[in-house]
């Protein structure tokens, strides 16, 4: 096995160095090699096969464009421009390995086509078959005709797909990565090498990476079709900005939508879908002008703070989302407007003053109640003390009277 590999490498090296234009590839059967000899390019020449360490030729009996198409595709040389007969590229030597090849045009290799291997005495090296292929399939170039790669929904984008002439071009296709079928197909004439594609009424589903390719068609009676390698890619961004939402935080002492002069208030803008480098814009429309201020959208929401409300802050507020892509500025729709009115504080009965007065009044009422309770308690205590003194005085009076009475009686008795 090693000897066979070394022999093959030796043959390849020798043939590559002999000055001829050669293209040698392994055949699909796994043990043969195919080459073109004595052509004016790598894709033209006498057809030869390496089998059993010996190169041999192909007989031109029945050799046609279908057979040549299979060989050209196998060699990576496009499709056949001509199936050459009669040893036009010179007489070969050795065995004639294939005779009466009958390809349908769809086989993966010349060795897969039905044929007579040996035994036709009419095939000699004067009948060696050759081929002229269209050449290796060139890579097309996709170009952007529109001025920008970032677009808005319902806009259009234009591309061009170009390839150098030299093939029997049939059509061009525009593909979007991830989708197996082409978005646009455009047929071309034999001498046309450039087409333009237009995608109109863009949607967000059109965002992605695009490439193009072309197909060539075999010369009749061949019906073979062959696709080129894909082109370079171009990325398209379809910018869809959602309408922001908003909410606000204002003074609790003021009615809804109002702020007391000198107090603070906040307005928050929010969006679900963001793009890098975006920002939120708060727009204030006043009676005589419009005021704008912006904050970078580092998160899905930002808050605009106003620490000292003044009459200049009064008006209708809107939230917008703004982003710059590919040199273009995209602005969302305005949020629903909401009005902020600035109210002067009431110098007498403002809610804060009323609250303070209520607190003071509550304290005073509580104090009065406590004082009353203390006074009542002291009155009751004083009454108890007076009743006790009166009782004590009455008792003493009774005793004194008794002593007096007793003294009078004793005096009378002595007298």
Q: Look at residues 201, 147, 199, 151 and name the one whose alpha carbon lies nearest to residue 176.
A: 199
Instruction: Please write the tens of the pLDDT for every residue from 60-71.
Output: 998 999 999 999
**H/E segment holding residue 11:** helix 2-16
User: What letter does residue 122 receive in the DSSP assignment?
Assistant: T
pLDDT of residue 156: 97
Length of the chain equals 415
Q: Which residues does 293 contact at the CB level (< 8 Å), separation at least 6? A: 281, 282, 304
Contact 69, 224 (CB under 8 A): yes
Tell me how far apart the alpha carbons of residues 283 and 315 are, in angstroms, rounded to a whole number: 10
pLDDT of residue 394: 63
pLDDT of residue 16: 42
Tokens (6 digits) for 186: 């455009």
Q: Look at residues 43, 27, 53 and name the one whose alpha carbon lies nearest to residue 113.
A: 27
Positions in the chain short of pLDDT 50:
1-19, 21, 403-406, 413-415
pLDDT of residue 8: 42
Neighbours of 130 (CB within 10 A): 29
**Residue 213 burial (C-beta neighbours within 10 Å; 0-12, 13-18, 19+):** buried
**H/E segment holding residue 405:** helix 351-414
pLDDT of residue 355: 77
Parallel/antiparallel/unpaired status of strands 54-58 and 96-98: parallel
Contact 194, 232 (CB under 8 A): no
């Amino acid at each position: 096995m090693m000897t066979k590999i070394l022999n093959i490498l030796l043959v390849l090296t020798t043939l590559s160095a002999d000055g001829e234009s050669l293209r040698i590839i392994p055949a699909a059967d796994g043990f043969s090699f195919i080459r073109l000899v004595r052509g004016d390019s790598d894709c033209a020449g006498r057809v030869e096969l390496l089998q059993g360490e010996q190169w041999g030729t192909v007989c031109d009996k029945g050799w046609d464009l279908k057979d040549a198409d299979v060989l050209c595709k196998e060699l990576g040389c496009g499709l056949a421009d001509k199936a050459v007969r009669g040893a036009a590229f010179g007489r070969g030597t050795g065995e004639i390995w294939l005779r009466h090849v009958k390809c349908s045009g769809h086989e993966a290799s010349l060795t897969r086509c039905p044929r007579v291997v040996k035994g036709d005495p009419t095939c000699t090296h004067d009948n060696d078959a050759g081929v002229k292929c269209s050449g290796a399939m060139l890579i097309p170039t996709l170009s952007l005709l529109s001025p920008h790669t970032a677009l808005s929904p319902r806009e259009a984008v234009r591309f061009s797909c170009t390839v150098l002439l030299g093939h029997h071009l049939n059509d061009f296709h525009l593909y979007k990565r991830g989708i197996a079928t082409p978005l646009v197909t455009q047929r071309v004439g034999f001498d046309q090498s450039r087409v333009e594609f237009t995608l109109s009424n863009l949607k967000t589903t059109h965002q992605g990476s695009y490439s193009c390719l072309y197909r060539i068609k075999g010369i009749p009676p061949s019906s073979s079709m062959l696709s080129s390698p894909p082109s370079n890619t171009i990325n398209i961004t379809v910018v869809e900005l959602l309408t922001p939402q908003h909410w606000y935080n204002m003074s609790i002492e003021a009615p809804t939508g109002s702020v007391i002069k000198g107090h603070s208030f906040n307005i928050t803008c929010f969006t679900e879908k963001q793009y890098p480098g975006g920002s939120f814009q708060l727009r204030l429309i006043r009676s005589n002008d419009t005021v704008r201020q912006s904050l970078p959208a580092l998160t899905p929401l930002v808050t605009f703070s106003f620490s000292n409300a003044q009459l200049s802050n009064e008006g209708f507020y809107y939230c917008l989302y703004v982003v710059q892509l590919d040199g273009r500025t995209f602005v969302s729709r305005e949020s629903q407007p909401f009005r902020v009115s600035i109210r002067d504080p009431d110098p007498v009965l403002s809610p804060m003053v009323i609250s303070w007065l209520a607190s003071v009044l509550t304290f005073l009422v509580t104090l009065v109640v406590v004082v009353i309770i203390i006074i009542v308690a002291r009155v009751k205590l004083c009454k108890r003390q007076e009743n006790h003194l009166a009782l004590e005085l009455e008792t003493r009076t009774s005793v004194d009277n008794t002593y007096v009475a007793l003294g009078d009686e004793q005096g009378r008795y002595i007298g």
